[in-house]
Chain A
Amino acid sequence: MIAIADYGMGNRRSVEKALAHVGAESVITTDVRDASAIILPGVGAFPEAMRHLERSGLGEQLKERAAAGVPLLGICLGMQLLFESSTEHEGAEGLGILPGTVTKLESPRLPHIGWNLVTFARESALTEGLGEAAPFYHVHSFACRPSDASDVVGTSEYGERFVSVVERDNVMAAQFHPEKSSTDGLQMLKNFAALAAVPVA
């Protein structure tokens, strides 16, 4: 069973329905300790999301489960939260599961909204079957700056070229919304669900 981490923010239902569409069972929950895989979704501001995660104890659970090798997928703000810190608003510490920081996207027009081509730098479990590049739906103003270049799986271009997919062992993340990216996004979720060893149609 895939747990969709519920901390009161973001597109939980869209993620749940997209997983159902690829035949993966999921549950929206505030307790991810028994899950075979975890998705951390998110829409909103980084500091507020971290406060929710800390207050609810979900943050500790996520760190513990990631360290235990459970597949973990961060989406959009959920990707950013996996890193060490962000400069959004007053700034905040992140979960620190992945090395690196989050800073504002260097672009004249923000937020970055819309379909954009993601170019894959290397093969990964998450992007299997997607070829060398595929379009995904992006909505964000900040971007992750991984300090370990080998974590980078995909990049997008908007004002600057930024990292939009990362993967480090069992921890992976996408800056865009696979659940809103039609067939390519569904393929990505299907790949993640396969890692979770849950039944996939």
Chain B
Amino acid sequence: MHYKRVIPCMDVDNGRVVKGTKFIDIRDAGDPVELAAHYDAQGADELIFLDITATSDKRATVVELARRAADDVFVPFTIGGGVRQVQDAHDVLDAGADKVSINSAALARPELIDELATVFGAQCVVLAIDAKRRPDGSYEAFVAGGRTPTGKDAVEWAKEGVERGAGEILLTSMDRDGTKDGYELTLTQRISQGVDVPVIASGGVGEPQHLIDGLAAGADAVLAASIFHYGSHTIPEVKDALRNAGFPMRPISARA
């Protein structure tokens, strides 16, 4: 029985969880590790921390975040932001993270994916893609929180990333992020069909039905942030909804 996954995501700025609407208008949703431990207890299958602190050297802060998370979180977690080379990934994984997520560093130098996969294995390497719809209906990878186009077709970039050794794709629709209108399902579908590694759908969740739609579109895991952070829906609630829709969900034991 392979279970589909529900993954709360914490965007972290200067050590605090934030969730912006389209990455602007950032609000504070608390301490990332406290929140993460709470989600673990509630039945989150994995957790993702994305450090969005706007400093040039984020390596020390993400390593510290990984160390703190490893103290209190006992489900797999991924750290993104600040990983630019093999040594950065080594430090984050050694601190207790299970995977690293890379985005702009991989677009700037795609060989980084090969290097990380060779040293740590594909299961440790998550390629994050922030995609925006083009007028012709295709999708383009963006960097800098959706501000800077790269000229790379998102589907082609996902395929290249997997060929180079990415073990998973974290796919965020920049058009939907923060809107609560649901995932960009055409994008989810195209990428899921284009690669043979798990795709994590991200960007736009406002209600449990959106998570059902994401899995139905081919995602292996569904990510959400603000619906959990602001308590509009709990993890047990969305997992019940997914289970009722026919998706296999990990049973949660009542053991403390």
Contact = CB atoms under 8 A, between A and B. Distances in A.
A116 B2 contact: yes
B239 to A, nearest CB: 12
Contact of B253 (A13, A117, A134): A134
Given A134-B253, A184-B255, A116 B1 contact: yes
A197 B93 CA distance: 31
A129 interface: yes
B194 interface: no
Contacts of B167: 111, 113
B145 to A, nearest CB: 28
A44 B3 CA distance: 24
B256 A183 contact: yes
B250 A135 contact: yes
A139 interface: yes
Nearest to B255: A183
Given A111-B121, A116-B2, A134-B253, A179 B74 contact: yes
Interface string A15-39: 0011011000000000000000000
A17 B96 contact: yes
A14 B122 contact: no
B74 A186 contact: yes
B97 to A, nearest CB: 9
Given A115-B250, A116-B3, A182-B74, A13 B95 contact: yes
Contacts of B41: 183
B40 to A, nearest CB: 6
B76 A180 contact: yes
Interface string A92-134: 0000000000000000010101111100000000000100001
Contact of B3 (A109, A115, A185, A186): A115
B59 interface: no
B98 interface: yes
B219 to A, nearest CB: 13
Nearest to B45: A115
Give the interface SS of chain A, mostly helix, strand, loop or mixed.
mixed
Given A14-B70, A18-B74, A185-B74, A135 B251 contact: yes
A187 B167 CA distance: 29
B42 to A, nearest CB: 10
B123 interface: yes
Q: How large is the interface on B (under 10, 10 to 19, 20 to 34, 35 or more residues)?
A: 20 to 34
Contacts of A113: 123, 167, 198
B95 A115 contact: no
Interface string B45-86: 100000000000000000000010011101110000000000
A127 B195 CA distance: 37
A29 B188 CA distance: 45
Nearest to B70: A17
A157 interface: yes
Contacts of A181: 74-75
A115 B67 CA distance: 23
**Which interface residue of B74, B75, B122, B167 has the most chain A CB atoms within 10 A?**
B74
A158 B94 CA distance: 28
Contacts of A137: 75-76
Given A44-B121, A111-B121, A115-B5, 11 more contacts: A13-B95, A13-B96, A21-B72, A21-B74, A114-B2, A116-B2, A117-B1, A129-B255, A180-B74, A180-B98, A186-B74
